[in-house]
């Protein structure tokens, strides 16, 4: 371990080593689902590589949450994803028989719709992260 990491906690040092073992790719992934009426209805935080399989692994339980919810149905769900590489194959999940009622609009690479959604989610995501930090 390089000398510059001596003042870090053991937990941080282990994370730095983990990053080195994964070729420098380490991300905290926080996924959120909100509704205008109910606010935050589902969230999940994991330390994973951002790949489409991990994103799809999040999408399935999210859609199941709405499918079995008493307040909302899959017909009420519209999922908007940005153009990150980890979001490249969401149709795999939406084409499964159980989730055919949910909607996934196709957005262009620089869609004006996407920027508004990103601003809202960015604000919500930072609020949730602050709440999670405070409640540790």
DSSP per-residue codes, the chain: --GGGTTS-HHHHHHHHHHHHTTT--EEEEEEEEETTTEEEEEEEEEE---HHHHHHHHHHHHHHHHT-SS--GGG-B----S-GGGS-THHHHTSGGGTTSB-----TT-HHHHHHHHHHHHHHHHHHHHHHHT-
Q: What is the pLDDT along the chain (136 residues), one digit of tens a residue?
A: 445 545 556 555 555 555 444 444 444 444 556 555 666 566 666 666 667 787 788 888 888 888 887 777 788 777 777 666 667 788 888 888 888 888 887 666 656 555 666 677 777 778 888 888 887 7
pLDDT at res. 127 = 82
49 located within any domain: yes
pLDDT at res. 88 = 76
CA 87 from chain centre, in angstroms, equals 10
Q: Provide the domain count of the chain.
A: 1
pLDDT at res. 102 = 85
13 located within any domain: no
pLDDT at res. 103 = 83
52 located within any domain: yes
Which domain does 102 fall in, by range?
A: 26-127
pLDDT at res. 1 = 45
pLDDT at res. 8 = 57
12 located within any domain: no
CA distance 42 to 34: 7
104 located within any domain: yes
7 located within any domain: no
Contact predicate 48/29, CB 8 Å: yes
């Amino acid at each position: 371990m390089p000398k510059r990491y001596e003042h870090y906690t053991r937990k941080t040092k282990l994370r730095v080593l983990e990053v080195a073992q994964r070729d420098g790719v380490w991300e905290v992934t926080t996924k959120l689902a909100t509704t205008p009426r109910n606010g935050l209805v589902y969230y999940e935080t994991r330390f994973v590589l951002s790949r489409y399989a991990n994103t799809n692994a999040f999408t399935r339980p999210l859609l199941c949450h709405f499918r079995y919810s008493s307040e909302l149905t899959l017909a009420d769900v519209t999922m908007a994803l940005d153009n990150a590489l980890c979001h490249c194959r969401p149709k795999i999940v939406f084409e499964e028989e159980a989730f055919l009622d949910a909607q996934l609009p196709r957005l262009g690479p620089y869609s004006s719709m996407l920027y508004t959604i990103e601003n809202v989610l960015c604000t919500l995501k930072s609020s949730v992260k602050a709440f999670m930090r405070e409640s540790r």
